Amino acid sequence: MRRSPLGKFVLLSSCLLGLLFSGCITISKPAALSKSEKKSKTKQVSYEETIPETPPDPENPEELKLAYAKWMEDINQVGEARKHYAAVAQKEPDNVDAILGLARLDQVAGQFAEAEQKYKRALRLSPESTEAKYGLGQFYASQERWHEALEPLTAAMLSEPDKIGYRYQLAVALVHSGDVESALPHFIRTVGDAEGHYNVGLILHEEGDLDNAEKHFLLAVTKKPQLEQAQKWLAKLETERSTGVAEEASQPAPQEAPSQIIPVQHSTTQPKHSFVTQPGKTTLKPLTSQQQEQLNNQQPIAGR
């Protein structure tokens, strides 16, 4: 008897949970770390997205479908993700998580008008939702609608000021909008002082402002002489001035902060970044036996 992908997901999750509780799978603790190592680890963890301790409510099958849809989205199984987000949205038309999931999938598929409509609807339904604010802001940024991106990205950053991905994307939008002075503190806080000026230089180069791009590349090299990317761009600027041909700023921004930092991306009509995202990656907890039974009751076995 063949099971649907969702059935397999539930079965695998419950097996993993059973092995963990039975003791067949153990999680070993590392040896004692030095004080500096412990401090570094704590700092890194503070940037990661927290995962709720409580799993989805087994009495609410829509929560299980949302968890499965998000997992499918994370592993790029777009068809399965859309199917289950849509199922939740059909049952609960005002479910913001389902609407945002469908909006992200529309955006990746190039259905930009539909994506924008869904992002705006999610924000109308839940004006305090940080995910809805950020979703709309990053959508505008992906369309190079920088001034429109500022309000929702600022609101998202203010809602969760410690989320460095939000702060970084706001800095990118600010530079593209011409407000370098406001962007620099956000860049410095997320990637560092020299790297912040380097990022500003890249964006200004993309905007065609070569003089100010050079200024920030020079500042980056002054603050960190070993920053080779900035040195290379200074040399490229000299070549561009002598030949009159500008080179595409394809060098990614340095990532001195934790790995969740999103490098400067050069947006096209098709978003280049993944929504598995941004920033931090949510890991699903295994389903309990109650959740498995509840979800199985909601899913017909494939082939019937």
pLDDT at residue number 249: 53
pLDDT at residue number 268: 31
Q: Stretch 237-241: mean pLDDT, rounded?
A: 88
- What is the CATH superfamily name and number for domain 1-20+57-127+288-304? Tetratricopeptide repeat domain (1.25.40.10)
pLDDT at residue number 40: 36
pLDDT: which is higher, 25 or 100: 100
For 26-72, write each residue's pLDDT tens digit. Answer: 444 444 434 443 443 333 333 344 444 455 555 678 899 999 999 99
91 alpha-carbon distance from chain centroid: 27
pLDDT at residue number 95: 97
For 97-150, write each residue's pLDDT tens digit. Answer: 999 999 999 999 999 999 999 999 999 999 999 999 999 999 999 999 999 999
What residues contact residue 122 under an 8 Å CB cut-off, 6+ apart? 96, 99, 100, 103, 129, 131, 132, 135, 136
Taking alpha carbons only, the member of 164, 176, 102, 180 closest to residue 140 is 176
Q: Stretch 187-210: mean pLDDT, rounded?
A: 96
pLDDT at residue number 240: 87
Q: Do domains 1-20+57-127+288-304 and 146-272 have the same CATH topology?
A: yes
Residue 296 in this model has a pLDDT that exceeds 60: no
**In angstroms, rounded to a whole number, what is the distance separating the alpha carbons of residues 117 and 137?**
13
Residue 297 in this model has a pLDDT that exceeds 70: no
Binned at pLDDT 50, 70 and 90, residue 205 comes out as very high
pLDDT at residue number 138: 98
pLDDT: which is higher, 160 or 19: 160
pLDDT at residue number 45: 32
pLDDT at residue number 30: 40
pLDDT at residue number 302: 39
pLDDT at residue number 7: 60
**In angstroms, rounded to a whole number, what is the distance separating the alpha carbons of residues 97 and 63?**
10
Q: Stretch 237-246: mean pLDDT, rounded?
A: 80
Structure-token match 């598929």, residue found:
109
Structure-token match 């600010």, residue found:
174
Q: Domain spans of the chain? A: 1-20+57-127+288-304, 146-272
**In angstroms, rounded to a whole number, what is the distance separating the alpha carbons of residues 184 and 168?**
10
Percent above pLDDT 70 for the chain: 61
Q: What is the pTM of this model?
A: 0.66
pLDDT at residue number 27: 44
Assign domain 146-272 one CATH number from 1.25.40.10, 3.40.50.1000, 3.20.20.70, 3.90.180.10.
1.25.40.10
pLDDT: which is higher, 13 or 287: 13
pLDDT at residue number 201: 97
Residue type, 271: P
pLDDT: which is higher, 139 or 12: 139
pLDDT at residue number 1: 54
Q: Could you count the other beta carbons within 10 Å of the beta carbon of residue 75?
A: 10
Q: Stretch 12-29: mean pLDDT, rounded?
A: 49
